[in-house]
Amino acid sequence: MPAWISPSITEAALTARLKRPPSAGWMRAIRLSLFLLCAIPAGLLLAGLFSGGLGVNPVETLLLETGVWGLRFLLITLAVTPLRWLTGAAWVVQLRRQLGLWAFFYVVSHFAVYAVFENSLVLSAMLEDIAKRPFVLVGMAALLMLLPLALTSNRFSIKRLGRHWRQLHWLIYPAAVLGLVHFFWIIRANRWAEPVAYAVILAVLFGWRLQKRWRPAL
């Protein structure tokens, strides 16, 4: 067992070992494990779709679950930096891009279910639906904000954009806000506990980030 995760150690020693980056082999194992964990919701939804386990309205279930998982992964992605600050484990930042891409995957899946199953990929039908249900436009705006983040989540873009890369990736916050608005808009009033919980989590994460960003100037 590698030293950085060995058992029966003091709290101080555990903190020190958490800060120590895992070896390249263990990092690959962590990335693979994370990939499999992130893929579980998609796998369960696909299995339910083909087995008839998504209820009487499988399209509605797919729409809801893919959208909610997209929002969850956005929040998890945003939590990586505070986790690094709290634990001192700088290596966890290496997992942020993978989590962000999974968030984008579920949001795109949400849109794909909407476009294919509800509108048969007919643009005029989608435009008509947007006019009737503005919350669809809010969801699309969130997706469009996430698109450049997904496209620039690579080392080439980080080097090419320089300091502008960090500025661009602040779009994840308004995208998450729009995702929450979209969620609130479609959920029934008696089921607001979940979106309220996500709103609180987002407010805490954003407040933490602002405090860390501006504290040196105070």
What is the rounded distance in angstroms from the CA atom of residue 143 to the CA atom of residue 108? 7
Considering its fold, how many domains does the chain have in total? 1
Q: Is the pLDDT of residue 2 over 70?
A: no
Q: Can you give the C-alpha Rg of the chain in angstroms?
A: 20
Q: Are the C-beta atoms of 108 and 143 separated by less than 8 Å?
A: yes
User: Comparing C-alpha atoms, which of 118, 135, 130 is closest to residue 182?
Assistant: 135
- Cα(39)–Cα(73) distance, integer angstroms: 11
Buried b (16+ CB within 10 A) or exposed e, 162-185: eeeeeeebebbbebbbbbbbbbbe
Q: For residue 182, is it within any domain?
A: yes
Q: Do residues 89 and 19 touch, judged by C-beta distance below 8 A?
A: yes
More confident residue, 195 or 211: 195
Q: How many residues make up the chain in this entry?
A: 218
- Complete DSSP assignment for 174-209: HHHHHHHHHHHHHS-GGGTHHHHHHHHHHHHHHHHH
Q: Quick one: pLDDT at residue 41?
A: 98
pLDDT at 218: 37
**What pLDDT is attached to residue 189?**
66
Identify the H or E element spanning 64.
Answer: helix 58-87
| 144 located within any domain | yes
- Residue 204's domain comprises 56-217
Select, from the ranges 66-70, 168-172, 182-186, the one with the highest average predicted confidence (pLDDT).
66-70
pLDDT digits (tens, 9 = 90+) for 10-45: 656 656 666 778 888 999 999 999 999 999 999 999
Nearest to 183 by CA among 14, 24, 66: 66
| H or E element in which residue 96 lies | helix 96-113
Residues 103-155 have pLDDT tens digits of 999 999 999 999 999 998 999 999 999 888 999 999 999 999 999 999 999 88
Residue 24 lies in a domain: no
**pLDDT at res. 140:** 95
How many angstroms separate the CA atoms of 140 and 108, rounded?
Answer: 10
DSSP character at residue 34: H
Separation of alpha carbons 61 and 64, rounded Å: 5
Give which of 186, 123, 111 is closest to 147, Cα–Cα: 111
Question: Which is higher by pLDDT, 109 or 166?
Answer: 109
In a domain, 180, yes or no: yes
For the segment 189-205, what is each residue's pLDDT rounded down to a tens digit? Answer: 678 899 999 999 999 99
36-74 pLDDT, tens digit per residue, is 999 999 999 999 999 999 999 999 999 999 999 999 999
The answer as to whether 31 is a domain residue is: no
